[in-house]
Chain A
Amino acid sequence: MTNAKKSEVLQGTLDLMILKTLHALGPQHGFGIARRIEQVSRDVLQLNEGTVYTSLLRLLQQGWIAAEWGTSDNNRKAKFYSITARGEKQLAVETENWERISGVVGRVLRLEGER
């Protein structure tokens, strides 16, 4: 349960990070995406790498990314994900949202006596 909760907390933002990664680096497979996020976030973010795949599936369903079978650097068969045009649009919107939210969330979490 704790794992699930953790991943749920990350869900919204993980989607955003994956979109951003694919936007920045071009088509990647799941392992590559996990490495990139690990590299960027360093120790701040505890990421269960498996959740990346849940996120990928969600993004696939929304049509924001596309998947294609290809060959990885070490000649293994792997699925490569790339951001779609709609995904790019969504990334722009979500990025802007995130910038606004990050400020607001802090304020909301400090709220007291609302009820």
Chain B
Amino acid sequence: MDNRRISQLRAITARVLGLFRSRKRDREFDEEMQAHLQLLVDRFVAQGMSQEDAAAAARRQFGNTTLLQEDRRELRTLVSVEDLGRDLRYALRSLGRSRAFAAVAIATLGLGIGASTAIFSVIDNVLLEPFPYKDPGRMVFLQIHDTARGQEGGRQGYTSNELLEFAEQNHVFDGVIAASDDLVLYKQGEGVELLYGAHVTPGTFEFFGMPALYGRVLQAPDYQPGAAPVFVMRHKTWMERFNGDPGVLNKTFVLNGTARTLIGIMPPRFGWYEADVLIPETPIRGAATGYAGLPARWFLLGRLKPGVSKAQAAADATVIANHLAKINPQDYPAHFRVFVKRLGDTVVGRFESTLYTILAAVGLLLLIGCGNVANLMLARATSREKEFALRAVLGAGRTRLVRLLLVESLVLAIGGAALGVLIAWGGLKLIVAAMPQNLIPAESVIELNAPVLVFTLVVAVLTALIFGLAPALRAARRELNDPLRDSGKGVIGGFRTGRMRDTVVVMEVAVSLTLLIGAGLLMRSFVALREVHLGLQADHIFETQLPLPEDRYKTAAQVRGFFQPLLARVKAIPGVVDATESSALPPYGGMDSKMEISGKSHEEEWHTLLQNISEGYFRVLRIPFKMGRAFSEAEINDARRVAVVNETFVSTFLRGEDPMGRRIKLAGLETLADPVREPWFEIVGVVADVTNQGLQAPVEPEVWVPYTVTGSGAQVLLVRSQQTPTALVNDVRQAVWATDAGVALAFPSALEDRISQLLYAGPRFAFLLMTIFGCLGLILVTVGVYSVLAYATARKTHEIGIRMALGAQRTDVLRLVIRTGLRLVSAGAAIGLIMSLLLGRVIEAELWRGLKPYDPATLAGTTLLLVGTGALACWIPARRAARVDPMVALRYE
């Protein structure tokens, strides 16, 4: 054996050297052959021929010298063009004869290449390089995390004082900028339109390092007191609202009552704060109020100095935060930590783990695909050993055989690659369409990633080549007549190469089960999510935010003066059942407020969610009362100090006591722009729990009070309708404009639609993709198990014939074949189960709370599914084997 390998090595070396030395060698050979010819001529002349006859006879005997030269060249060089053409034709013909094999191999390769390229492109664009800014990796923001709360996250909005403290006192940032949001109303024609605006601090555009597409960005002079009011617009807004008309540049718009000049339009990928318009504002110390009279909050972004870690930044920011907590203890939890988060964490968050889970799934799929291709190639090559042996005996060189297989593998690989590119391209479009838009950064533009495509292409092509060649090399190395001797009839003959194929199948089954379990867990999780009891009836609810112009709506009386007639008008719209004001949109509660209960003393601070509503709120959302009653119209009109609380509030703060008539102090109301002095309220009712922190998080204590107690707070209109809620939008707009033509509807929608988009989109996306991958994996495994068994059974036809001739029943044969197959499947399933348990942690973050990665029902179900499919894959070859006529099988030779 060794001897042969050395020979091969020498031959290859000779060829490679031949590439360089060929000319001299050719000349030598030509001389040698000319001498040979001359000797032949001399010999014929000596035998009495004429000179011409002798020359002709010598040439005849020697053969075609040109052809010989070509033969030699072929031997010297590694590939020759004509031969490649011949091999290609042959490969196509031979693959054409086994179309099923070619189709499965190409489809498998294509799927692997396509799926992994598409997913990795998404990950690269969404997670790895989403931001087109200068040094986005060093951009971080701060979170004040209350260590008493179990969940992650924390406050990330800061007052002007805090912002300036952080900006001036830190030692870890190159620069600090901030933005605060603002709903911007501007007059457009007759009505009023709404833009999502951001007030941005000096240096913002220098921080991001992006120039404007048209015009200019905000510069230092724009922030000077007395500077002409200006603003900058985002590209998307410019395209959608103004059809990309360059004429709007340098035009003046009245934004929230101030005439401002549009000085610049940003490039498409600029998406800071997702703001439509960016308005300059210099933060100043002292109490400031922002949107809707709520305390102004800045979201701040700092750029870490080079070499500064997140931990160092957190330590530095903690010093500042501790100092601030001493000055303003009401703004800080008793125990807190400062988290430093990267810019990407603002949007991606939970979605990141979803994407990585899917990437892992795709990797597994690619693995199965490669395994399948490997197996198919092995089985095919092995079944052709006899053909190769025959060819070798008839004079085909070993290199020739290897090259033939190589070309065949290449044809498959190229077919798979072409299909893969198509799938990647189409799949990416599908993924982008199915992807929840609110979960990815606005800056990311998802496109096909060329390096990834090249990588997967190389992996897949190499797989095809390696596994196409391994048997070819082996076949070429074998003693020529061995395969001829065992020609398919041997009792042990087919098993020598079986171990490799078996291993591949076991691995495939294991990987596929892992995928299936992942998909199953996500499916259960998704179903659980859909079945979450919101506590309210979200169907047939129309919702819209109504940002009121701040100059005219400051006091409670002004706000009531708007809503009282509006609610009356809306209720009069045909098809409307009921309508209410609210300060928050389900499934989220209102603002966070500190709270005290009269007669209860406690060490730690008590917090509750606080929402302002009108009297129709609980009727509109069909939230049932457990105790007491809802607000009366009179109580709303008179702004009485009454409150309704949820069950969690009672069980948290008043366990075992009668809540009715208890008095609570809602300190948060004192900090509003239109503050409520001495905010003591009497509990008049208790309602059933309604999700108020999103679907996944547990319900928090919540308090509802009449909206008429303050003029501050967000304003939302909820309408229960008999028809499709979105059909109401024009009627409601008319009602709003009839009340005040200067108010615009912001984000009108159907409550149900928004909830499903906001909360189900991410999990549905993960579940959808995992299910697709799981099914693909299952199909591939079925093909894999089937092909191996079908092949092994075909090779054992003779053995089966003998067994049957010796008295074996058909059922025995059936059992024999199925047992062989199921042994592989169960071995794979066992490994797969272990793998899934080990990998469970990866997927745990994706799962609905309460669902464990080792959920027995899912494990059992998916394992059964896989084993069942495996059994089916065994059944077909088994039946074929059982139908074997022993006489035919024995004569078969």
Interface string of B393-415 (1 = CB under 8 A from A): 11111000000000000000000
13 more contacts with CB within 8 A, not counting A49-B62, A79-B28, are A9-B395, A10-B395, A31-B39, A49-B61, A51-B68, A53-B33, A58-B75, A61-B14, A62-B10, A63-B7, A86-B6, A100-B481, A101-B481
Within 8 A of A (CB), among B31-52: 32-33, 35-36, 39-40
Contact between chains at B72 and A104 (CB < 8 Å): no
User: Could you tell me which B residues sit within 8 Å of A by CB distance?
Assistant: 3, 6-7, 10-11, 14-15, 28-29, 32-33, 35-36, 39-40, 61-65, 67-68, 71-72, 75-76, 390, 392-397, 479-481, 484-485
Known A50-B62, A57-B29, A63-B7; contact A101-B36, beta-carbon cutoff 8 A:
no
> Given the complex of chains A and B, what is the CA–CA distance between A30 and B36 in angstroms?
7
> Given the complex of chains A and B, what is the CA–CA distance between A54 and B393 in angstroms?
18
Contact between chains at A8 and B39 (CB < 8 Å): no
Contact between chains at B39 and A3 (CB < 8 Å): no
Contact between chains at A76 and B35 (CB < 8 Å): yes
Q: Which A residue sits closest to B9, measured CB to CB? A: A63
User: Could you tell me which A residues sit within 8 Å of B by CB distance?
Assistant: 3-4, 7-13, 29-31, 34, 48-51, 53-54, 57-58, 60-64, 76, 78-79, 86, 89-90, 97, 100-101, 104-105, 108
Contact between chains at A86 and B393 (CB < 8 Å): no
Contact partner of A51 (CB less than 8 A), chosen from B40, B63, B76, B481, is B63
Known A63-B7, A97-B481; contact A34-B393, beta-carbon cutoff 8 A:
no
Known A57-B72, A60-B14, A63-B10; contact A49-B485, beta-carbon cutoff 8 A:
no
Contact between chains at A101 and B72 (CB < 8 Å): no
Contact partner of B71 (CB less than 8 A), chosen from A7, A31, A34, A108, is A7
Q: 29 A-B Cβ contacts within 8 A?
A: A4-B67, A4-B71, A7-B71, A9-B395, A11-B397, A12-B392, A12-B395, A29-B32, A31-B35, A31-B40, A49-B36, A49-B61, A50-B62, A50-B65, A51-B63, A53-B32, A53-B68, A57-B75, A57-B76, A58-B397, A60-B14, A61-B10, A61-B14, A64-B7, A78-B32, A104-B481, A104-B484, A104-B485, A108-B390
Contact between chains at A86 and B7 (CB < 8 Å): yes
Contact partner of A3 (CB less than 8 A), chosen from B67, B397, B481, is B67
> Given the complex of chains A and B, what is the CA–CA distance between A108 and B390 in angstroms?
8
A-B contact count (CB 8 A): 99
Contact between chains at A97 and B36 (CB < 8 Å): no
> Given the complex of chains A and B, what is the CA–CA distance between A61 and B14 in angstroms?
6
- Measured between beta carbons, the chain A residues less than 8 angstroms from B71 are 4, 7, 51, 54
Contact between chains at B72 and A54 (CB < 8 Å): yes
> Given the complex of chains A and B, what is the CA–CA distance between A79 and B34 in angstroms?
13
Contact between chains at B32 and A89 (CB < 8 Å): no
Contact between chains at A89 and B393 (CB < 8 Å): no
> Given the complex of chains A and B, what is the CA–CA distance between A79 and B64 in angstroms?
21
> Given the complex of chains A and B, what is the CA–CA distance between A34 and B392 in angstroms?
24
- Measured between beta carbons, the chain A residues less than 8 angstroms from B28 are 79
The 9 closest A-B pairs by CB, nearest first: A48-B63, A50-B63, A61-B14, A50-B68, A61-B11, A11-B395, A63-B10, A54-B71, A62-B7
Distance in angstroms from B761 CB to nearest chain A CB is 55
> Given the complex of chains A and B, what is the CA–CA distance between A51 and B65 in angstroms?
9
- Measured between beta carbons, the chain B residues less than 8 angstroms from A108 are 390, 393, 484
> Given the complex of chains A and B, what is the CA–CA distance between A1 and B14 in angstroms?
27
Contact between chains at A86 and B32 (CB < 8 Å): no
- Measured between beta carbons, the chain A residues less than 8 angstroms from B480 are 97, 101
Distance in angstroms from A93 CB to nearest chain B CB is 9
> Given the complex of chains A and B, what is the CA–CA distance between A97 and B29 in angstroms?
31
Contact between chains at B393 and A105 (CB < 8 Å): yes
Contact between chains at A61 and B15 (CB < 8 Å): yes
> Given the complex of chains A and B, what is the CA–CA distance between A10 and B396 in angstroms?
10
- Measured between beta carbons, the chain A residues less than 8 angstroms from B10 are 61-63
- Measured between beta carbons, the chain B residues less than 8 angstroms from A60 are 14
> Given the complex of chains A and B, what is the CA–CA distance between A29 and B35 in angstroms?
11
Contact between chains at B7 and A3 (CB < 8 Å): no
Distance in angstroms from A10 CB to nearest chain B CB is 7
Known A30-B32, A49-B36, A63-B7; contact A8-B63, beta-carbon cutoff 8 A:
no
- Measured between beta carbons, the chain A residues less than 8 angstroms from B479 are 97
Contact between chains at B33 and A3 (CB < 8 Å): no
Distance in angstroms from B72 CB to nearest chain A CB is 6
Contact between chains at A53 and B7 (CB < 8 Å): no
Q: Which B residue sits closest to A78, measured CB to CB? A: B35
Known A48-B61, A49-B40; contact A61-B75, beta-carbon cutoff 8 A:
yes
Contact partner of B394 (CB less than 8 A), chosen from A9, A53, A57, A89, is A9
- Measured between beta carbons, the chain A residues less than 8 angstroms from B65 are 50
- Measured between beta carbons, the chain B residues less than 8 angstroms from A58 are 75, 397
> Given the complex of chains A and B, what is the CA–CA distance between A104 and B392 in angstroms?
13
Contact between chains at B32 and A79 (CB < 8 Å): yes
- Measured between beta carbons, the chain A residues less than 8 angstroms from B68 are 50-51, 53-54
Distance in angstroms from B74 CB to nearest chain A CB is 9
Distance in angstroms from B57 CB to nearest chain A CB is 12
Q: Which B residue sits closest to A111, measured CB to CB? A: B893
Distance in angstroms from A108 CB to nearest chain B CB is 6
Q: Which B residue sits closest to A69, measured CB to CB? A: B28
- Measured between beta carbons, the chain B residues less than 8 angstroms from A12 are 392-393, 395
> Given the complex of chains A and B, what is the CA–CA distance between A45 and B485 in angstroms?
28
Contact between chains at A48 and B72 (CB < 8 Å): no
> Given the complex of chains A and B, what is the CA–CA distance between A100 and B481 in angstroms?
8
Distance in angstroms from B59 CB to nearest chain A CB is 9
Known A3-B67, A61-B11, A104-B484; contact A53-B72, beta-carbon cutoff 8 A:
yes
Contact between chains at A101 and B393 (CB < 8 Å): yes
> Given the complex of chains A and B, what is the CA–CA distance between A45 and B396 in angstroms?
19
- Measured between beta carbons, the chain B residues less than 8 angstroms from A101 are 393, 480-481
- Measured between beta carbons, the chain B residues less than 8 angstroms from A61 are 10-11, 14-15, 75
> Given the complex of chains A and B, what is the CA–CA distance between A19 and B357 in angstroms?
63
> Given the complex of chains A and B, what is the CA–CA distance between A78 and B33 in angstroms?
10
- Measured between beta carbons, the chain B residues less than 8 angstroms from A13 are 395
